[in-house]
């Protein structure tokens, strides 16, 4: 039996649309064991085997390695909220790949798993931090793996409502004005500098302002839009987590207690306010 633990992730972080993601200290935990007939069990939303992302990814790893897959029992023993913008599909994919490598002793490196994960998910911004941990910047088909600074702490506001990423992607325009493109490029560069411990922490608000996707997605989620607006009005650098509906606030560590109090005050009934910290290891197996 192999147990795999994969972190939740927050993608985009405002201006870093489809290229920036960070791993959080909330986890999906899945156990893999050989059995007489493949089956899915445990907690969370359990899809039939042909539709199950973890199983499909498990099979893809064996195919990539050129090895026959075993019959497998996949049991979810720990979850975090899915369809909330915390990278649940990415974690499921990474769990299947890492579980297959460990259970089958497959000759696949991290780069092989990263390629498969991105191919299955369709974009790298969630799967790479889920696999590697820390802050990951995707560039030119490769990735730069960084570590977020201790001086900044995340607050995640987990929405009560679910929202599908596909619906959020449909409203993002194909074209962007030159002014908006320049603003997003500058903000992304500033955000990476600040998050990795560079100077400029006083510019977190400007560094988390997005013009590419949030203005079009947030109106689809009125509750999230209201919380986003109020937190930023209070000087708390807040963005959508992935495609929403959850939000993530990036807060100087010394201001965390005050920001947390504000977040709890403005969060709608049924929302969760978490302080998960950063995950720096990525997916692990034992």
CATH number of the domain that residue 120 is part of: 3.30.230.10
At 195-220, the pLDDT tens digits run: 998 788 999 999 999 999 999 999 99
Judge if 248 and 135 occupy the same domain: no
Task: Convert the pLDDT of each residue in 24-74 to its tens digit.
Answer: 999 999 999 999 999 998 876 666 788 899 999 999 999 999 999 999 999
My answer on whether 82 and 14 are in the same domain is yes
Do 156 and 117 have their domain in common? no
Based on the fold, state whether residues 43 and 93 are members of the same structural domain: yes
Q: Is residue 211 domain-shared with residue 83, that is, in the same domain?
A: no
Measure Cα distances from 189 to 64, 138, 184, 200, 281 in Å. Answer: 36, 13, 9, 11, 24
What CATH number is attached to the domain comprising 260?
3.30.70.890
Domain that holds residue 19: 2-146+279-285
pLDDT for residue 167:
74
Instruction: Output the six-digit token pair for 83.
Output: 């369809």
Residue 15: band (very low, low, confident or very high) from pLDDT cuts 50, 70, 90? very high
Neighbours of 72 (CB within 10 A): 26
On average, the pLDDT of the chain sits at 93
Total domains, the chain: 2
- Report DSSP state, residue 45: -
- Looking at the structure, do residues 97 and 136 belong to the same domain, yes or no? yes
The string of pLDDT tens digits covering residues 115-144 is 999 999 988 999 999 999 999 999 877 899
Q: Who contacts 178 (Cβ-Cβ below 8 Å, separation ≥6)?
A: none
Nearest to 203 by CA among 254, 240, 237: 237
pLDDT at 95: 98
């Amino acid at each position: 039996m192999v147990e795999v633990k994969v972190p939740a992730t927050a993608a985009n972080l405002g201006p870093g649309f489809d290229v920036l993601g960070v791993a959080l200290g909330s986890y999906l935990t899945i156990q893999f064991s050989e059995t007489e007939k493949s089956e899915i069990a445990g907690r969370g939303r359990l899809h039939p085997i042909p539709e199950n992302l973890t199983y499909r990814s498990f099979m893809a790893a064996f195919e990539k390695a050129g090895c026959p897959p075993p019959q497998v029992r996949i049991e979810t023993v720990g979850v975090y909220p899915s369809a909330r913008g915390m990278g649940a599909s990415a974690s499921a994919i990474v769990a299947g790949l890492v579980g297959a490598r460990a259970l089958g002793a497959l000759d696949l490196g991290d780069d092989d798993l990263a390629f498969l994960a991105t191919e299955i998910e369709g974009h790298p911004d969630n799967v790479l931090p889920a696999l590697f941990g820390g802050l990951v910047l995707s560039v030119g088909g490769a990735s730069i793996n960084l570590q977020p600074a201790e001086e900044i702490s995340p607050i995640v506001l987990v929405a009560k409502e679910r929202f599908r990423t596909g619906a959020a992607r449909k409203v993002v325009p194909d074209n962007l004005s030159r002014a908006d493109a320049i603003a997003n490029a500058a903000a992304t560069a500033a955000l990476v500098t600040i998050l990795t411990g560079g100077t400029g922490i006083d510019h977190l608000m400007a560094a988390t302002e997005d013009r590419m996707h949030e203005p079009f997605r947030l109106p689809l989620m009125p509750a999230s839009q209201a919380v986003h607006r109020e937190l930023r009005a209070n000087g708390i650098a807040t963005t959508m987590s992935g495609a929403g509906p959850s939000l993530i606030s990036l807060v100087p560590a010394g201001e965390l207690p005050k920001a947390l109090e504000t977040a709890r005050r403005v969060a709608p009934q049924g929302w969760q306010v978490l302080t998960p910290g950063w995950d720096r290891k990525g997916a692990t197996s034992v």
